[in-house]
């Protein structure tokens, strides 16, 4: 084995162990969504020593941050596999928001993770935004707004729906109100924004071997009272 090959193998082993710890953190979180995730739980789930944990992450918070990114990428892969539903950027955006919320309802672990550890997977909503905004602004469909403001409007609207559901104060139609508010903020007339907010957005399906699907199975079996 050459020196270069050994480096490649070592790097692969490190990445495999890093992913193992990330996976363990998500599965532990799924099993105790209302409790604190501690190092002891994670190393027990991963089947490694405490010292191994510290070779990869300084804190549990750092590990959960990496887990948020991993879950977000799984969601993004699901979204990107789906064809765009409309050439109208307003309708396409409304559909994608509804689809994301419906997916979070199907896989409650996404909402739990997002509301309890920060935005996380919700950040993945930003991915299709630049294309929609460029098209909408160029055609006059949307008004011109700074990117940072657009992103915050979108994330706040969606996260608010998830938090209401997570805390049990949600009402039917919350998702439609959220979509309409986003579209109106972007310059879509009120009546049209309300009409577009009624578009169907069917939940996406995660492959059984994905971390999201596996974690949701554990979360559901844990007897989470809210869900």
Nearest to 180 by CA among 172, 188, 171: 188
**What whole-number distance in Å separates Cα of residue 115 and Cα of residue 111?**
6
Q: What is the pLDDT of residues 124-182, one digit of tens each?
A: 666 667 788 889 999 999 999 998 898 889 888 988 898 898 888 989 999 999 999 99
Which CATH number fits the domain that encloses residue 128? 1.10.357.10
Does 168 map to a domain? yes
- pLDDT tens digit string along 30-76? 888 666 789 999 999 999 999 999 999 999 989 988 888 888 788 87
Residue span of the structural domain in which 213 resides: 3-221
> Rounded distance, CA 34 to CA 11, Å?
35
Residues 102, 210: contact at Cβ < 8 Å? no
227 within domain boundaries: no
Identify the residue whose tokens are 């996380």: 120
Residue 53 forms part of a structural domain: yes
Number of domains in the chain: 1
DSSP structure class, residue 140: T
Q: Are the beta carbons of 212 and 74 closer than 8 angstroms?
A: yes
Q: What is the pLDDT of residue 227?
A: 45
Using alpha carbons, select from 91, 79, 187 the residue that is nearest to residue 137. 187
Q: Is residue 176 part of a domain?
A: yes
Model pLDDT for residues 70-120, shown as the tens digit of each residue: 887 888 788 778 888 899 999 999 998 898 888 888 888 887 777 776 655
Q: What is the DSSP letter of 125?
A: G
- Residue 47 belongs to some domain of the structure: yes
């Amino acid at each position: 084995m050459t020196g270069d090959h050994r480096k490649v193998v070592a790097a692969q082993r490190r990445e495999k162990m890093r992913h193992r710890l990330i996976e363990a953190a998500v599965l532990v979180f799924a099993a105790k969504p209302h409790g604190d995730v501690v190092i002891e739980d994670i190393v027990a789930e991963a089947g490694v020593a405490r010292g191994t944990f510290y070779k990869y992450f300084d804190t549990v918070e750092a590990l959960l941050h990496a887990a948020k990114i991993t879950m977000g990428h799984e969601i993004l892969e699901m979204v990107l596999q789906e064809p765009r539903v409309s050439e109208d950027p307003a309708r396409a955006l409304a559909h994608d928001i509804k689809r994301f919320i419906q997916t979070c309802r199907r896989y409650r672990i996404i909402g739990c993770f997002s509301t309890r550890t920060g935005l996380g997977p919700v950040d993945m909503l930003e991915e299709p935004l630049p294309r929609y905004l460029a098209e909408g602004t160029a055609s006059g469909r949307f008004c011109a707004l700074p990117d940072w403001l657009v992103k915050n409007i979108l994330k706040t609207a969606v996260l608010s729906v998830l938090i209401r559901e997570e805390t049990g104060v949600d009402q039917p139609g919350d998702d439609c109100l959220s979509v309409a508010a986003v579209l109106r903020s972007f310059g879509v007339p009120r009546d049209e924004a309300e009409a577009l907010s009624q578009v169907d957005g069917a939940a996406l399906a995660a492959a059984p071997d994905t971390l999201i699907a596996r974690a949701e199975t554990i979360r559901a079996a844990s007897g989470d009272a809210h869900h």
